[in-house]
Each structure stands twice: as C-alpha cells, then as structure tokens.
Amino acid sequence: MLGTEPGGRGGVATVVSLLRQNGLFEREGVCYVSTHAEGSRAAKLGAALKGLLRTLACLARGPDIVHAHAASNGSFVRKSVLLALARASGAKTVFHLHGACFDSFIERSNPLMRRWIRHTLDKSTVVIALSTRWASYLNGFAPRARVVVIPNSVPLPPAGPDRAEPGRILFLGQVEPRKGIYELVEALALLKDRYPQLKLAVGGQGELAQLKARAAALGVAERIEELGWVTAGRKQDELARAAIFCLPSHAEGLPMALLEAMAAGKAVVSTGVGGIPDALRDGDNGLMVEPGKVDALAAALGKLLGDDGERRRLGARARATIEQEFESGVVIGQISAVYQQLRQQRS
C-alpha cells in the first residue's frame, strides 16, 4: 500500500492510520510504503525518492496487489508512476482517489496529462471512489475504468453524556476559501446578536491571519477561538464540547472530519458537495445548505442553536448512520472483498 506518512496531517493520513489501527494491515498482510511526508521541499523530495526505492524493493518480492491512495497534482503524478511500475511487474493495482478537487485538476491539465490520467484510471485493475457522485464523474471521464464505491471509515467512539457547550460551533479543516470558512464567519456575524453564547472554534491551519482580519471587520473577532491543529487525541474532546459541527465546503471528497463529527453524535451543518450527500441527508441526520449561501447557512445554524431537541435528534441519527454504513469494520470488510476478488483473478 502506497500513501502519505500515516502520522501526518490531513484526511488521507487519518484514513491510513485507521485502516492500520483497525486491523486491515494485519488481516491482509499489507506492507505500507510512505511516498510523501510533510515539511520542506527537500524533505518532500527525499520522502518521494525513499518511497520509490522502497516500492521497487517491494515489487521485487512479487506482491499480488499494489494499492495507492492518491489525490491531485504531485500526489497523482507520484502514484501514477508507481502504479505503472507495479503493473509492469505483474501486480494488480488499486487506485484509491481521495482528492476533493480531482475534477478541477483534470480540467486544468494539458491534453497530454489528461491522457495520462485517463490511462492510469483505465489500466488500474480497480478504482476506488469515496462516493457515488465521484464514481459517476470518474466513469464519465474514463468509461473503461472499473470503479467501485467504498467510503472512508471512522471508529465509533463510546456513547457518553451530552457535554455540548451552548452556542459552540466547531469547524475542523484547512482554513481556506474552499472549506467555506469565510461564509461561516459571515453567518456568525448575522447570528451574534440573537445568541450571546455563540462561539466558533476553528481547528486547522492555513489563512488564519486573513480569517482574523475578516472576523474583526465583521465585529466577531472575540467570538472566534483558534484551536490550531487538532491532534487525534484532542479531537474527541473538541467534538464533545461542540453543540454543532459545521463544514460549509465548496468541494470535497468525503471529509473525515464530518464523518468523525457524525460518529460523535453531533448535529452537522454542511453542503451537498462531493461525497457528502452519501453520508448526510438533509433533515434526517443533519442539515444541508448550498455552498456560498451565507443567509441559508445562518438560518440552518440558527435553527439548531434555538432547538436543543432537534440538535440532539439529528446527532443521534448521524451516529446511527455511521454505525450502519461507515464504521471501520464495515469498510475494512469491503476493502478485503476487493482484495479477495483480485487474488482470484490472478489465480
């Protein structure tokens, strides 16, 4: 299996860590090779070269399957080359797409790169998409690709007492326009006079200085609490304290933070982009608004801030959805089934 450093930050690192923690590596005899690490350009180049050498060493031992977790840009380029080497060695290959903006990556690529992307998808034995919407997009771009849908998984934490702090909204993700954080701050400004306890806790890195400036201009700087990067050990505590989890993104794959919030029994307000509609159903287990619509976002948040019963109902339904469809054991079983099919094809 090829991917980013498991101890790193971001959704893919979280996915890989959970697969390992919940038994997939032991169950399937997975040898994991890191091809990317955080840090300077030199550190990233060193990780890529080290990953190439380790991959070549693994291929020399004749693995049945090579499974690559990929996103866009450099991640795609690295993984596509390694998968081509794997196919040349006789291995079956799995291209596992996580990129929230993979469609934009394709659209802005030159014709030669678009041909290489389509070739990589077509030649992969299996392509894993995180949602039905992403599967439909990939099938449209590369009709000969064999695409299956396997969502990201999350562990189901033990149920406990409601520790939500009134008015506390939690955002977890990269602080950038794609995540809808600026609309969330604008919605906060619309709600601040009605809800004196209102506070937005922001967990993540990115455009923090710009966010502070925008909040100050809107008169809500004192309502924002910067958490910095929230580690895995701290995340459950932050989720427990939140009354509402909000991720008003403009583009997504299937965000781990959203699934983790649902598993924690939180009422979620999000948007219907990427794979989110495969998990979140408006009015059933969360609330969904159009991306970029500040008034609608404020209305959805206000509905939950003013109705604890509805907040708890949506949170309970969200947790039930994770238990039934996205819990780690369910998803690991789906990945194992793909591996088993590929081994049978090889034999």
- Kindly state whether residues 189 and 266 are assigned to the same domain: yes
- Kindly state whether residues 34 and 148 are assigned to the same domain: yes
For residue 59, which of 80, 90, 34, 81 has the smallest C-alpha distance? 90
Examine residue 158 and state whether it is found in any structural domain, yes or no: no
Examine residue 231 and state whether it is found in any structural domain, yes or no: yes
Examine residue 261 and state whether it is found in any structural domain, yes or no: yes
How many alpha carbons lie under 13 Å from residue 286 in its C-beta half-sphere? 32
For residue 235, which of 259, 270, 211 has the smallest C-alpha distance? 259
Examine residue 161 and state whether it is found in any structural domain, yes or no: no
Number of domains in the chain: 2
- Kindly state whether residues 144 and 173 are assigned to the same domain: no
- Kindly state whether residues 184 and 216 are assigned to the same domain: yes
Examine residue 160 and state whether it is found in any structural domain, yes or no: no
Dmax (CA) of the chain: 67
Pair 65, 342: CB distance under 8 Å = yes
Give dist(CA 22, CA 155) in Å, integer: 8
- Kindly state whether residues 118 and 230 are assigned to the same domain: no
- Kindly state whether residues 38 and 113 are assigned to the same domain: yes
Examine residue 147 and state whether it is found in any structural domain, yes or no: yes
3-state helix, strand and coil shares in percent for the chain, rounded to the nearest 5: 50, 15, 30
| Domain containing residue 225: CATH number | 3.40.50.2000
- Kindly state whether residues 143 and 207 are assigned to the same domain: no
The pLDDT tens digits along the chain (347 residues) read 999 887 777 778 888 888 998 889 999 999 999 988 777 888 888 888 998 999 999 999 999 999 999 999 999 999 999 999 999 999 999 999 998 899 999 999 999 999 999 999 999 999 999 999 999 999 999 999 999 999 988 888 888 888 999 999 999 999 999 999 999 999 999 999 999 999 999 999 999 999 999 999 999 999 999 999 898 889 999 999 999 999 999 999 889 999 999 999 999 999 999 999 999 999 999 999 999 999 999 999 999 999 999 999 999 999 999 999 998 888 899 999 999 999 988 54
Examine residue 159 and state whether it is found in any structural domain, yes or no: no
- Kindly state whether residues 139 and 178 are assigned to the same domain: no
- Kindly state whether residues 300 and 315 are assigned to the same domain: yes
Give the model's pLDDT for residue 236.
92
- The residue segments making up the domain with residue 231 are 168-326
- Kindly state whether residues 174 and 322 are assigned to the same domain: yes
Give the model's pLDDT for residue 346.
55
Buried b / exposed e across 26-64, counting CB within 10 Å, b at 16+? eebebebbbbbbeeeeeebeebbeebbebbeebbeeebe
Examine residue 274 and state whether it is found in any structural domain, yes or no: yes
- Kindly state whether residues 219 and 287 are assigned to the same domain: yes
- Kindly state whether residues 263 and 342 are assigned to the same domain: no
